[in-house]
C-alpha cells in the first residue's frame, strides 16, 4: 500500500503533451509544472497538487489504495472544470505502475492507461495513453518528467 511513498515532496515537472489526442495530429507542446505531494492515511493515499504557471491552471490528483482489491484508484481534477475524472485503477510491479480506466474524449468512449516509473530517489516519470479502438492500439499523449526540488515529507500520512 506504500507504492507511492517515493513521490512525497516537491517536484519540478517537465510536461510534454499532444495538443489534439486521437485526432491524427502530431503537434506537441511543452510546459513547466510544480508539484507538491503529501501522504494520506499512513501511505494508503496521497494528494498531489500541481501548478502549471505558464497555463494559468492547477490540477489535483487523489490516489487511494483499496484494501479489499489491493489496487490503487487514481482520480484527477483541474481548475478548469472542478470535476473528478473517472479513475484509473491498478498497481505496481517493481518500479513500474500500470493503471487503466474508461473515459470519454469529444463525446466518444476511450480507454485510458497511466504508467508510473520510479527512477530513483530524485526522479520519476508518468505517461498517459488513450485508445479509441478497445485497446488494440494506443496513442501516447502526455508525459511528465519529475525532478525532486525538496525533501520528502516525513510522517504526515499518519
Whether the per-residue pLDDT at 157 is higher than 50: the answer is no
Average pLDDT value for residue range 60-77: 97
The H or E element that residue 26 is part of is none
Q: Are 149 and 7 a contacting pair, CB within 8 Å?
A: no
Average pLDDT value for residue range 139-143: 97
Average pLDDT value for residue range 40-59: 95
Q: What residues contact residue 64 under an 8 Å CB cut-off, 6+ apart?
A: 40, 41, 44, 45, 72, 73, 75
Q: What residues contact residue 143 under an 8 Å CB cut-off, 6+ apart?
A: 15, 16, 17, 125, 126, 127, 128
pTM recorded for the entire structure = 0.92
φ and ψ of 7, to 5 deg: -90, -15
Q: Are 138 and 131 a contacting pair, CB within 8 Å?
A: yes
C-alpha R_g of the chain: 15
Helix (H, G, I), strand (E, B) or coil at 122: coil
Render pLDDT for 121-139 as a digit per residue (tens, 0 to 9).
999 999 999 999 999 999 9
User: C-alpha cell of 47?
Assistant: 494528494
β-pair partners for 132:
none
Q: List own/partner pairs for 119-125 with CB under 8 A and 24 or more apart.
A: 119/95, 121/6, 121/148, 122/147, 122/148, 123/147, 123/148, 124/6, 124/7, 124/11
Amino acid at each position: 500500500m506504500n507504492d507511492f511513498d517515493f513521490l512525497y515532496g516537491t517536484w519540478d515537472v517537465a510536461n510534454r503533451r499532444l495538443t489534439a489526442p486521437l485526432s491524427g495530429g502530431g503537434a506537441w507542446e511543452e510546459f513547466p509544472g510544480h508539484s507538491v505531494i503529501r501522504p494520506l492515511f499512513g501511505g494508503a493515499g496521497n494528494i498531489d497538487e500541481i501548478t502549471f504557471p505558464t497555463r494559468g491552471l492547477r490540477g489535483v490528483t487523489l490516489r487511494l489504495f483499496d484494501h479489499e482489491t489491493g489496487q490503487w484508484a487514481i482520480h484527477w481534477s483541474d481548475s478548469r472544470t472542478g470535476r473528478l475524472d473517472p479513475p484509473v485503477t491498478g498497481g505496481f510491479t517493481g518500479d513500474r505502475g500500470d493503471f487503466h480506466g474508461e473515459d470519454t474524449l469529444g463525446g466518444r468512449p476511450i480507454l485510458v492507461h497511466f504508467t508510473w516509473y520510479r527512477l530513483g530517489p530524485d526522479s520519476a516519470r508518468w505517461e498517459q495513453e488513450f485508445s479509441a479502438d478497445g485497446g488494440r492500439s494506443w496513442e501516447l499523449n502526455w508525459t511528465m518528467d519529475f525532478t525532486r526540488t525538496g525533501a520528502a515529507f516525513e510522517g504526515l500520512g499518519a
